[in-house]
Structure 1
Amino acid sequence: MLASLLMLIALLCAGVLIPVPYAEMSPGPTYNTLGEHNGECVLQISGRKSCETTGGHLNMTTVRVTGSEYRMNLVEAVYGWLAHDDVVVPHSTLYPDDKTPDQVDQQNAEEFTQSQASAKVAALRALKKPVTAHVIVGAVQKGAPAQGKLHAGDVIKSVDGTAVREPDDVAKLVTKHKPGQKVAFSVVPAKDVAAAEKRGKQPTGEERVTITTAKADQGPSRAIVGIQAGVDYTFPFRIDIKLADVGGPSAGLMFALGIVDRLSPGDLTGGKYIAGTGTIDDKGTVGPIGGIEMKTIGARDAGARYFLTPKENCAAAAKDVPGGLRLVKVHTIDDALKALEKIRKGDTAGLPKCTTG
């Protein structure tokens, strides 16, 4: 008995002291996109109604994860595996070996910022409001020919006199040249673009910038200037999303719906408590996210009765639905708006369902 007791003590000590390569995910807080956070409206739209609501909720959901430097011990891992509301995953799932913690944080912040921009575009397009797209300089490579001549945020109007309408147009026009030849860009500087956006105006004031191309480091011989083209938008009014300490792209759908509510008469929710998740692109397509099981639990615990669920996440979410929560399948912002209309009217029998099949 003494030997068994000593063995048990040794095993318990080992379980507590020996770290294991796992991390833990658990339900995080939810935030009402129609309400306030830290004393200010989550969605702030110039010249539009305040964030006071009739009691309805459109809550975005989050997942809480252990920090990058935290190392679970074996006892914690086993407890997490047995706990219903937590999920234990390999540490590399949350913090890939080829990225530093700072790089992971930076990626999450960039994805969150992009989700906000896409939410604004999707919401305004759903409301048939004007949104103007611009091809911009997304990034300039260090040491590239464009460094110091083009800057992130510059709007690219044309290359060699040919109008640019899509980001891919820039590379196509540049690669018509041979390395060492000059290429002419017509751009609106980023500072002028920012000033125009504050006034709700289209950016004007083009400048001509001539750059000598270089040879690409890899692949066949082709000309480059060393920029990454992207897309930015001009909105008819200023939209700010005030929510710190949240990362990743999964709040896009709920931000978009919140913007639609703020720009529409009445209340999209009909006073109901609705939560959801999902990425969204500029065309309003809703994409899948991670941690769906944690988010449905967090939504239920916060008081939600309906959960807008990306189509691709439906099967996983439907395997273990928290009591009192109804999953609603959506694939586009239009799907979500139609579902909200049914919920508002009490016509819930026709709501799209999530199934395990």
Structure 2
Amino acid sequence: MKLNHPLNRKKAAQQRPVMRVIIALILFAAAIFGMTIPKLYYISEPGFSRDAGGLIQLPHASGEDEEAITRTPGTAKSPDPTPDANRDKKINEKLAPAPGWYYTTIRLDRANMLQALSAWIGPGEVYTARSVLGGLNEASYMKRMNRIMLLALQDAAEAAMKEAGIPLKSVPQSVVVESGGAFGDAFKLEVGDMVLKANGKPIHEMVGLLTELDAAFSAEAPMRLEVQRDGNRLQLEGRVELQNLALLSRSIGSEDSGLPSFNELRQLYLPGQSEPLKWGEAGAGGPSAGLMAALAWYDSLDQGDLLARRAIAGTGTLDVEGFVGAVGGVAEKVSAAAAAGAEWFLVPASEAKLAEKAARSVGKNDRTGQEMKIIAVTSLAEAIEKLQLDDSNL
């Protein structure tokens, strides 16, 4: 009964504006605190899907008829004189996606602790800045990832040409560290390092590097390397161990062994061409566009029509022998593909279950009413074989 006394009600009414001010100040302070917390995390989100058709390009300086070597994917053996007309044609009142080989990406957004906690509670993936950047700034990290993308496109082009049975001339230019690791007993190589010299001798290919490694081991002398890292030249020195030399000679250094692995930056020439292939701007770094770049390039070389006017997305690394490797961010990439309207998604076999779960999560395609079809592959050859099947058998 005491609470209903008029004096108590008057006192409570007088306190309300004060409480509102206090709450407003607390919220304002929390907002300022949230904006000023260092952004030490990354949150992954679906990125973009883009046609891989322009990632590997013919040179334009030779003057030869490009159509004699390649064609636009999806145009061969087509009775339709305007193969792109379907881009603007509505099917079931829904706009059909443009045919193409879509490579997919994830987007990493900087986040502070509060944003990271929110993402942890929700569906997002959270990474520490150090786990992503490895202590680099973003500009240096992207420069390294762009170099890895270039290596991936070279391997994709070479693998596609082998699969198409077209001879290729490859001219090594330099040796690049593809995955970092300890090398010898005193120094470590990092992703994207370019090996300039070994024991004072210029290095342009793996054979030269391995020769100098073997010479240093045989002489029981330190190995001296000059590398370019983030625009700077560094002098590194260390001793070579027998077991490391054996592994490196097979170029199978890995995170498990703690050794670096290498690849060659090289120029690739088609038959009859005096200028090398060119590489398009991917808008992203890393090796995961390799599979889709290879399929797009193969389809332009082959006399069939592998694309068959479909919108096919996917992800996966690809080595020069045509083997597909796992990537990260599969769920986000499936979402990116779905947003682009793709109805098929190629994925490394080891990550197929993740992709299938993601496809169920994004739901049915607005136009077709069907879930995205996930195609698990282990090699470029297997991907081509499966895509040659009727859609109902995929």
Q: Give the TM-score normalised by the residue count of structure 1.
A: 0.67
Aligned ranges 1:1-357 → 2 under 5 Å: 2=19, 5=23, 9=27, 10-11=29-30, 13-19=32-38, 21-34=40-53, 41-45=54-58, 47=66, 48-51=69-72, 53=74, 54-55=83-84, 56-66=99-109, 70-72=110-112, 74=114, 76-81=115-120, 84=123, 86-97=124-135, 99-132=136-169, 137-138=174-175, 139-140=194-195, 145-146=199-200, 150=202, 152-153=203-204, 168=210, 171-172=213-214, 175-177=217-219, 179=221, 217-218=238-239, 231=264, 232=266, 234-237=268-271, 238-321=276-359, 322-323=362-363, 324=365, 325-342=372-389, 345-348=390-393, 351=394
CA distance in structure 2 between the partners assigned to 1:290 and 1:316 by the alignment: 10
Conserved 8 A contact 1:95-1:104: yes
Deviates more, 1:236-245 or 1:25-34: 236-245
CA distance in structure 2 between the partners assigned to 1:110 and 1:258 by the alignment: 21
Q: Which of the two has higher C-alpha Rg?
A: 2
Relative to structure 1, the CA distance from residue 315 to residue 220 in structure 2 (aligned partners, 3 Å threshold; closer, same or farther) is closer
CA distance in structure 2 between the partners assigned to 1:24 and 1:260 by the alignment: 35
CA distance in structure 1 between the partners assigned to 2:73 and 2:44 by the alignment: 33
Relative to structure 1, the CA distance from residue 17 to residue 311 in structure 2 (aligned partners, 3 Å threshold; closer, same or farther) is same
SS at match of 2:358: coil
Deviation, 1:115, is 0.3
Deviates more, 1:132-141 or 1:103-112: 132-141
Give CA-to-partner distance per residue, 1:167-186, whole Å, 9 cap, x none.
64553356445659xxxxxx
CA distance in structure 1 between the partners assigned to 2:328 and 2:128 by the alignment: 14
SS at match of 2:313: strand
Matched to 2:270, the amino acid is P
CA distance in structure 1 between the partners assigned to 2:321 and 2:282 by the alignment: 26
Deviation, 1:216, is 5.8
Matched to 1:51, the amino acid is T
Give CA-to-partner distance per residue, 1:106-163, whole Å, 9 cap, x none.
2201110110110011101111222356676525457x6425xx2x53696xx8xxxx
SS at match of 1:88: strand
SS at match of 1:320: helix
Higher share of residues assigned helix: 2
Conserved 8 A contact 2:313-2:344: yes
Q: Which residue of 2 aligns with 1:206?
A: none
Identity %: 23
Residue-pair matches, total: 283
Q: Which residue of 2 aligns with 1:208?
A: none
Q: Give the TM-score normalised by the residue count of structure 2.
A: 0.61
SS at match of 2:270: coil
CA distance in structure 2 between the partners assigned to 1:239 and 1:219 by the alignment: 36
Conserved 8 A contact 2:41-2:126: yes
Relative to structure 1, the CA distance from residue 310 to residue 146 in structure 2 (aligned partners, 3 Å threshold; closer, same or farther) is same
Q: Gaps (5+ residues) in structure 1?
A: 35-40, 160-166, 181-214, 352-357
Deviation, 1:334, is 1.0
Deviation, 1:21, is 2.6
Matched to 1:346, the amino acid is D
